[in-house]
Structure 1
Amino acid sequence: MKNILIADDHPVVRVGLQCLLARHPGVRVIGEAADPEQLEVLLAEKTCDLVITDLSMPWGGRPDGVRMLESIRRDHGHVRLIVVTSFTNLQVLRAVVRLGVEGILEKTGGLSDLLAAVDCVLGGRTYFSGDLAQRLRSGRNRTGLSSRESEVIRLLAHGLSVKEIADVHRRTISTISRQKGAAMRRLGLRSDYELLDYAKSTGLSPGGH
């Protein structure tokens, strides 16, 4: 019997994963975490074979999914990892792959994807849902951002507010908000947490790789 920990900041997701995995032979869920701190406590207390985790969860008041994965890899190197994410940007996904994550699932995938990933990863193989493997190999990563959208993302990553960016560039707040929203849609980002995680993974933020 393989032991699994689940980490996601949305309770309904954790419950759904619990119910799905409860019917899957050979595995059992031994705990769930709502944030990286809780996950670290569980990893220290329990014998775990696999962690299924969201990439974008708050940690210490700021999001940093890559830092969370780095910590797990450093302190619990034997544990296998499946990351479930809404990120579609290849730079972010490559940062995850470089950490040795065995599985990446897109949140738009089906339940059968998750079970297939669990079986593959616990069997010593890797699993990338949909066309992720092909996209990662091909290197296609056209964000389609305009120069102004890219600049807005960069300044947000450096801690400026929408109002401050508007003041710096002498544009209206609504214009900056519109450019921010357009950039996030093109990058497949759904929240400010994911935006800052993207910035860290791609080197746009001061502490980025």
Structure 2
Amino acid sequence: MDSNHIRVAVADDHPVIRLGIEAALDDVPTIRRIGSARDSSELVTLLDAQPCQVLVTDYAMPGGRYGDGLNLLSFLAERYPALRIVVITAIDKPVLIRTLLAKGIQNLLSKADDIAHVAPAVQAAHVGRRYYSPAIAAIVQSLSGDKPITKLSPRESEVISLYVAGNSIMEIAKQLGRSKQTVSTQKVSAMAKLGIASDADLFKFASEVGLVPPPEIS
């Protein structure tokens, strides 16, 4: 491996954004892009074929065999433990940023920020330093001023997980041996703690943070 260059892979399902990332990286003499992928299937094929030190990946990148979001990040961490990851996302919800930070992702870029942040984020990831683009840094700063997040109780978490998996309140009550009113109250309480007001937002949140399980891979 060429020790004078950082070997980088790019993954994003949006061609224009992917080309922008590629151009930003190709302009830096110390970075060598080994290839790009449009989904998780192409990404794993690329990473299996060539040594890579840093990955720049979109958070939401549906359509691949290995999923996207938190599920893909967990898979990559297990399969390529030495790989450093820079996540770029259009999702600006504090709960997602908090979740990514808790998962150990320390290099985060917002698609709302200048693409020029990609190269310094890669360089920071390569040496084990954190890097946030301005929009992400503002969210992280706001989180640091928060009181510790109120976590869901085990029963609330159980109810929410079953609900976003497609079960009705009645079905959840039957599965858990609780009354319909109890399950409904636990769901409402959990949504209040998460700052979510509607079922539509609950399902969107569940998708963003990986509560909805990916389809099984045969």
TM-score interval, normalised by the smaller of the two chains = 0.5 to 0.7
- Is residue 121 from structure 1 mapped to residue 125 from structure 2 by the alignment? yes
Instruction: Check whether the contact 1:154–1:199 (CA below 8 A) recurs between aligned residues.
Output: no
**1:65-144 map, 5 Å:** 65-130=69-134, 131-139=138-146
What displacement does 1:156 show?
8.9
Instruction: Check whether the contact 1:63–1:196 (CA below 8 A) recurs between aligned residues.
Output: no
Larger Rg belongs to: 2
**1:11-22 map, 5 Å:** 11-22=15-26
SS at match of 2:9: strand
Consecutive unaligned residues in structure 1, runs of 5 or more: 142-152, 161-178, 185-191
What displacement does 1:45 show?
1.2
Instruction: Check whether the contact 1:5–1:52 (CA below 8 A) recurs between aligned residues.
Output: yes
Instruction: Check whether the contact 2:61–2:69 (CA below 8 A) recurs between aligned residues.
Output: yes
CA–CA distance in 1 between the matches of 2:163 and 2:199?
9
- Is residue 46 from structure 1 mapped to residue 53 from structure 2 by the alignment? no
What displacement does 1:61 show?
7.5
CA–CA distance in 2 between the matches of 1:140 and 1:129?
24
Q: Kindly tell me: are residues 34 and 101 of structure 1, through their superposed partners in 2, closer, same or farther at Cα, counting changes over 3 Å?
A: same
Report the identity percentage.
Answer: 28
Q: Which amino acid aligns with 1:118?
A: V
Consecutive unaligned residues in structure 2, runs of 5 or more: 149-159, 168-197
Moved over 3 A (4+): 59-64, 153-160
Could you tell me which residue of structure 1 aligns to residue 208 of structure 2?
A: 198
What displacement does 1:89 show?
1.7
What displacement does 1:25 show?
2.1
**1:162-181 map, 5 Å:** none
Superposed CA deviations along residues 160-187 of structure 1, whole A, max 9, x for unmatched, are: 9xxxxxxxxxxxxxxxxxx778x59xxx
What displacement does 1:62 show?
9.2
TM value normalised by structure 2 = 0.65
Q: Kindly tell me: are residues 34 and 206 of structure 1, through their superposed partners in 2, closer, same or farther at Cα, counting changes over 3 Å?
A: closer
What displacement does 1:75 show?
1.0
Q: Which amino acid aligns with 1:198?
A: E
Q: Which amino acid aligns with 1:2?
A: I
Q: Kindly tell me: are residues 57 and 196 of structure 1, through their superposed partners in 2, closer, same or farther at Cα, counting changes over 3 Å?
A: farther
Q: Which amino acid aligns with 1:43?
A: L
Q: CA RMSD in A?
A: 3.1
What displacement does 1:65 show?
0.8
